[in-house]
Structure 1
Amino acid sequence: MKRSLPSIVIIVVVIIGVAVWWFNRTPDHKPDYDAATCAAVAQLGNKPVNDNDLLEGIKASISNQNSSYAVNPVEFDQDLAEASAKRYQSLSTQQKTFAGESLENCRKTMATGAADKTNQ
Structure 2
Amino acid sequence: MCYFGEMHTPITTSQAVNLKRRYLWKLLYKSDKVMNNLMPKQIQDLFQIRESVYDLRGYKMFRQPKVRTKMKQLCVSCVGVDVWNKLDQEQKDCSTMVKFKGRFKSNVIEYYESSQ
- Same fold judged by TM-score > 0.5? no
- Select the structure of larger CA radius of gyration: 1
Higher helix proportion (structure 1 or 2): 1
- Structure with the larger RCO, 1 or 2 (CA within 8 Å, 6+ apart): 1
TM-score (norm 2): 0.36
TM-score (norm 1): 0.35
